[in-house]
């Protein structure tokens, strides 16, 4: 194979690889994924996010108590609020099922 043919073959392969990788980003989607969700699915997603945030805040609260950043009394108050928030999200998720 000549040098010119090798260069052309490599250029074609590189261009094909670039197109293959870039195609999903360049092609237009018919609609954003969140628009394909029903109202119930959107609500479930929102509630799951609230629940995850409450659980994460509870983990952080325990860490802050162990490091001495907050007092035990403040920790209990905040823990009660976060648990109530998580329980509310869980009960609403149960109602949606």
The domain ranges of the chain are 1-30, 32-97
Distance between CA atoms of residues 55 and 58, nearest Å: 5
Lowest mean per-residue pLDDT among 15-19, 43-47, 48-52? 15-19
Model confidence at 5, pLDDT cuts 50, 70, 90, reads confident
Task: Please give the pLDDT value at position 82.
Answer: 95
pTM for the predicted model, two decimal places: 0.62
Crossing angle of helices 39-67 and 72-96, rounded to 10°: 160
For residue 19, the SS3 value is: helix
């Amino acid at each position: 194979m000549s040098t010119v043919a090798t260069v052309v073959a490599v250029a074609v392969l590189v261009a094909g690889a670039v197109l293959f990788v870039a195609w999903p980003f360049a092609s237009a989607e018919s609609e954003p994924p969140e628009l394909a969700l029903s109202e119930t699915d959107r609500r479930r997603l929102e509630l799951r996010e609230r629940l995850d945030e409450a659980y994460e805040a509870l983990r952080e609260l325990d860490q802050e108590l162990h490091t001495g950043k907050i007092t035990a009394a403040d920790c209990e108050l905040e823990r009660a609020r976060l648990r109530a928030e998580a329980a509310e999200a869980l009960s609403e998720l149960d109602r949606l099922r």
